[in-house]
Amino acid sequence: MARDLAFLIPEIMVLLTAILALAAEMLRLPRTALMVTLAGLLLATGLSMPLLGAHTSVFSGTFRIDTLSIWAKLILLPATLLSVLLARAELGGSDREGTVYSLLCLVTLGALLLAGAGDTMLLVLGVLLSGLGSFALVAYPRNDSATEAAMKFFVFASVTGGVMIFGLSYWFGGTGSTLLSDLARLDTAPVVAAVGLVAVIVGLGYKASLVPFHFWAPDAYEGAPVSIAAYLSVAPKIGAILALAQVVRDLPVATGWPMVVALIAVLTMTYGYLAALAQDNVVRLLAYSSIAQAGYFLLGIVAVGASPLAFESMIVFAAAYAAMNLGAFAVVMCTGRTLAALSGIGRSHPVMGVAMVVFLLSLVGIPPLAGFVGKFLLFGASIDAGFIWLTVIAIINSVLSLAVYLRVVVPMYQRRDDARVKDLAPMPLVKLVWVNAFVFTLGVGLAAQVLLGQLDRPLQ
């Protein structure tokens, strides 16, 4: 027990942080809550470092301490930290500010659980934990649009969650165990395996906003505060994708999951970018773009078990995606939600303009930015796994995505209409976030080799 708990120190730290932030909120000390949250998340990130290289599981295999779950901590905890800063800039001074920080920590805890799930029980609990907190965060402003967004999100989550639990019961029936490592026993029962697979894809697909379970995402992002939308597009999504990787790792290939995942990847990428082309609201555009990006993650998933690059590529892309997406949302927080609000920003605020262009080009996957490294590895992994047609479609979609992101970039550098340009309110915290994201997006691209060396080889 003591040995197992030692491996869970980062998670325990996150939980403690959430509770301390809540206590500070109870005493009406929102500043203290903020400080406690930031310090706690930093500490938890630091405490995850010593775990690097570990490959084991705790509590009889229910939770895995491996490459995926450790790197998930190292990516999601700093991402949560940046989201907390964004939330402070946007929601600071509101009635119950401390609960936002606390809920952000708890949702991250749920995402971390998903990333290391070794048991179907933890899949369900992780989806529930990250879901419940998310609904409250989306509904936090309590105006009509936020409530509507949260309600859509909630109804969608309830239905998909129900389907997932129902399907997982088939896996339990088929294997007599809730452990994912026992899924190999499903070799002889393809029907049972298929029912469970569909259920898991529904349940995790909604969380990762894969097409066709993405309907909630644009509405929820639009109705929620921008900082919360930024957070939702990063932490729960990465958690769910890594959970899917944990599941398919043990699932017999005979169930045909690589093909199912590949088809969903094609749908997700293509639909996400096509829908993004039609948006005038930058938050909705980024929402559809984040749907499409989830499709790229699936290129790593189809390669699980077939390519040694699978886990590495997903981790690198997750880190890059977290940085560039948070950065882009942070810039949108500074400017405003419509494409019109962005016009002329590149000329009036040159540094921020350059940062936004870097984030968007990184989302396209242009070298030498972080997004390129991630996508390059993902393409490599899926080619390794024999999915060349999928890689070709992904590359075609990257070209399509250029059109999507140029729709944002072009107005930024249009000759500005001086009468309409208003000074943006200075937001030092938001600036801190996008500067950090900017440095990371550039830095990872340039130092890709160093980061790749750090990843330990996944055991296949």
Partner 1 sequence: MFEAVLFYIFATVLVVSAVAIITVRNPVHAVLCMVLCFFTTAGLWLLLRAEFLAIALVLVYVGAVMVLFLFVVMMLDVNVEQLRAGIWKNLPLALVVGGIMIFEMVALLARQVFGGLAPREAGPGYSNTKELGMLLYTDYAYPLEVAAVILLVAIIAAIALTLRRRKDTRRPAPAEQIRARREERVRLVAMPAEKDE
Q: Does 96 contact partner 1 by CB under 8 A?
A: yes
SS3 for the chain, per residue?
Answer: CHHHHHHCHHHHHHHHHHHHHHHHHHCCCHHHHHHHHHHHHHHHHHHHHHHCCCCEEECCCCEEECHHHHHHHHHHHHHHHHHHHHHHHHHCCCCCHHHHHHHHHHHHHHHHHHHCECEHHHHHHHHHHHHHHHHHHHCCCCCHHHHHHHHHHHHHHHHHHHHHHHHHHHHHHHHCCCEHHHHHHHHHCHHHHHHHHHHHHHHHHHHCCCCCCCCHHHHHHHHCCHHHHHHHCCHHHHHHHHHHHHHHHHCCHHHCHHHHHHHHHHHHHHHHHHHHHCCCEHHHHHHHHHHHHHHHHHHHHHCCCCCCCHHHHHHHHHHHHHHHHHHHHHHHHHHCCEHHHHCCHHHHCHHHHHHHHHHHHHHHCCCCCHHHHHHHHHHHHHHHCCCHHHHHHHHHHHHHHHHHHHHHHHHHCCCCCCCCCCCCCCCHHHHHHHHHHHHHHHHHHHCHHHHHHHCCCCCC
* Minimum CB–partner distance for residue 55 and partner 1 (Å): 18
Kindly write out the interface string for residues 196-225 of this chain, putting x where it contacts partner 1 by CB under 8 A and - elsewhere: ------------------------------
* Minimum CB–partner distance for residue 173 and partner 1 (Å): 5
Nearer to partner 1, 30 or 371 (CB): 30
Name which position in 17, 67, 83, 102 contacts partner 1 (CB under 8 A): 102
Name which position in 24, 76, 115, 129 contacts partner 1 (CB under 8 A): 129
Name which position in 60, 158, 338, 454 contacts partner 1 (CB under 8 A): 60
Q: Does 76 contact partner 1 by CB under 8 A?
A: no
- Count of chain residues binding partner 1 (CB under 8 A): 40
Q: Does 8 contact partner 1 by CB under 8 A?
A: yes
Stretch that binds partner 1, among 39-47, 168-176, 227-235, 373-381 (CB under 8 A): 168-176
Encode 230-265: b = buried (16+ Cβ within 10 Å), e = exposed.
bbbbbbbbbbbbbbbbbbbbbbbeebebbebbbebb
Q: Does 231 contact partner 1 by CB under 8 A?
A: no
Q: Does 77 contact partner 1 by CB under 8 A?
A: no
Q: Does 2 contact partner 1 by CB under 8 A?
A: no
Q: Does 93 contact partner 1 by CB under 8 A?
A: no
Stretch that binds partner 1, among 47-55, 189-197, 251-259, 294-302 (CB under 8 A): 189-197
Q: Does 418 contact partner 1 by CB under 8 A?
A: no
Q: Does 135 contact partner 1 by CB under 8 A?
A: yes
**Closest to 366 (Cα-Cα) out of 445, 313, 450:** 445
Q: Does 128 contact partner 1 by CB under 8 A?
A: yes
Name which position in 38, 104, 113, 433 contacts partner 1 (CB under 8 A): 113
Task: Determine if residue 340 is left, alpha or beta; phi over 0 gives left, psi from -120 to 50 gives alpha, anything else beta.
Answer: alpha
Name which position in 28, 31, 55, 142 contacts partner 1 (CB under 8 A): 142
Q: Does 423 contact partner 1 by CB under 8 A?
A: no
* Minimum CB–partner distance for residue 46 and partner 1 (Å): 22
* Minimum CB–partner distance for residue 222 and partner 1 (Å): 19
Q: Does 165 contact partner 1 by CB under 8 A?
A: no
Q: Does 119 contact partner 1 by CB under 8 A?
A: yes
In the block, residue with structure tokens 């040694």: 308
Nearer to partner 1, 22 or 390 (CB): 22
Around Cβ 144, how many Cβ atoms within 10 Å? Answer: 9
Q: Does 176 contact partner 1 by CB under 8 A?
A: yes
Nearer to partner 1, 105 or 265 (CB): 105
Q: Does 170 contact partner 1 by CB under 8 A?
A: yes
Query: Is the peptide bond preceding residue 252 cis, with omega within 30 degrees of 0?
Result: no
Nearer to partner 1, 27 or 395 (CB): 27
* Minimum CB–partner distance for residue 452 and partner 1 (Å): 31
Binding site for partner 1 (CB under 8 A): 1, 4, 8, 15, 22, 58-60, 62-63, 95-96, 99, 102-103, 106, 109, 113, 119, 121-122, 125-126, 128-129, 132-133, 135-136, 139-140, 142, 170, 173-174, 176, 189, 191-192, 195
